[in-house]
Amino acid sequence: MEHIAVNPWAALAYLIAGVCFILALRGLSSPATSQRGNAFGMAGMTIAVVTTLITHVPYDLAAGAAAGFSSEEPIFDTVTMLEILGAIVVGAVIGLVTARKIAMTDMPQLVAAFHSLVGLAAVLVAAAAFLNPEAFGIATLLVSDTGPPVVHILPVSRIEMGLGVAIGAITFSGSVIAFLKLNGNMGGKPIMLPGRHVINLAVLAGIVGLVAYFTQDQSPWIFWTITGLSFAIGFLLIIPIGGADMPVVVSMLNSYSGWAAAAMGFTLHNTAMIITGALVGSSGAILSYIMCKAMNRSFISVIAGGFGADTSGGGAAAATDRPWKRGSAEDAAFLMSQAEQVVIVPGYGMAVAQAQHALREMADKLKAHGVRVKYAIHPVAGRMPGHMNVLLAEANVPYDEVFELEDINSEFAQTDVAFVIGANDVTNPAAKTDKSSPIYGMPVLDVEKAKTVLFIKRSMGGVGYAGVDNDVFYMDNTMMLLADAKKMVEEIVKSLD
């Protein structure tokens, strides 16, 4: 049994940890301060873990009683403490090895996997609290004259428990599907189930109703039904969402994991978990809003189904019959070497080909020729928020050369060459002109306004995740470079020598 020692310094320590987490989020808002932000995050987590270990020292009251000690003098539970420390060491080793070996191009999958673990942890904590509420200090013993004593879980704790297990289970199962989609184990296209809206609404209503009923009746079937339905709705919500909406999904799951942690923080009476969960939950919600705004979509429309869900498969085939110009690496190298300014627009194609290092080398060659080079980043380029920024940072691209959409879009009209590497939907002018397009209204990069557009893609037969063709391919000022992105950029680098 756990003996909770009251430490007057615990609240102050948790407050310091919370401040560190806030500073970590602030630092991570910019690549230039991201290392400092990570340092604050690690410091805050270290303070929180150490404080928790000190204030929740495990004691074996039964062993103390057997040894003749009073309840105020329990024996330190060495075995339990070693188990806790062992679990921390195992987790630290797994995290360290994963962080060192994971490729930057696989970062979206890693983030989804981490979210799933947070959700699963919330489910396990809620289950432990339900099965042994006395150890968590969330129950009272009701003595009856007609029967044995009954362990009564406090109603407020049941609310926390019900919400925590529901949000945690949704986070876990939803993150598993997101991981499979991002990792290529499942198709990136939306998987539309018949009657999905009715099913999803019915399941969500059932979960809310059961959580409310759980406050009146603590029967085990209610708790486990909530858990099962929440696992199911996580799968059902994410399966219909396509790859183009993955940035929103990742930030949404990030928010869910934070709220799950906050709910469990109340159950565990842990201030640090409440603060951290609230920070993660609110920041994830704000980021989801920013992502949706960048796509001109509502959060509900993302959950209802992904881009391309209603498009037919014949659009791309018909579009390739239109005239277009094909160029070579030598053509691209000549055009860019003669330019005053080149704006590079990276997208998911760059990430798949792992072309970021070759791209930086190309930019260095161009700058040696006196060309001004900038990078234009769309908020939802790639498969997670900041995906392109992370890849460019890995290739040591200077921070002052990287610009967000709203900061650089006006410069395309004065740009000699727009070099687009695997960014389809975020450069599609149909978002501005075609009201029937599924991406209509989404802010896009105005690459078509540049004097010349060099567009790298594998073939003319493919379309982006939105399922619509890009008119930029067929414009008079566009030259298509059909090849693997990394190989094409490497050939351009050779031609620049």
The set of catalytic residues is 425
User: How many CB atoms lie under 10 A from the CB of residue 202?
Assistant: 13
In sequence order, what E strands does 34-91 have? 59-60, 75-76
| DSSP 8-state code for residue 397 | -
Residue whose C-alpha is closest to residue 275's, from 6, 2, 16: 16
Residue in this structure with the two tokens 């339905």, named with its chain if needed: 229
Quick check: 192 and 305 in contact, CB under 8 A? yes
Per the CB < 8 A criterion, the answer to whether 141 and 159 are in contact is no
- What are phi and psi for residue 372, nearest 5 degrees? -85, 125
Please give the Cα distance from 48 to 17 (Å, whole number): 6
Helix, strand or coil, per DSSP, at residue 421: strand
Count the Cβ atoms, other than its own, within 10 Å of residue 8.
6
* CB-based contact 242:309 (threshold 8 Å): yes
Please give the Cα distance from 119 to 458 (Å, whole number).
38
Longest CA–CA separation in the chain, Å: 94
CA 113 to chain centre: 9
User: What span, in angstroms and rounded, lies between the C-alpha atoms of 3 and 312?
Assistant: 63
Two structure tokens written together for 188: 């990136």
Residue 398 neighbours by CB distance under 10 Å: 14
Using CA atoms, how far apart are residues 33 and 13, in angstroms rounded to an integer? Answer: 24
What is the bridge-based pairing of β-strands 417-421 and 478-482? unpaired
Residue 196 near residue 236, CB atoms below 8 Å: yes
> Which own/partner pairs from 80-83 qualify as long-range (CB within 8 Å, at least 24 positions apart)?
81/57
For strands 402-404 and 372-377, give the pairing. parallel
What does each C-alpha distance from 464 to 177, 187, 295, 315 come to in angstroms?
20, 13, 14, 12
* Run of H or E residues at 427: none
DSSP state of 142: E
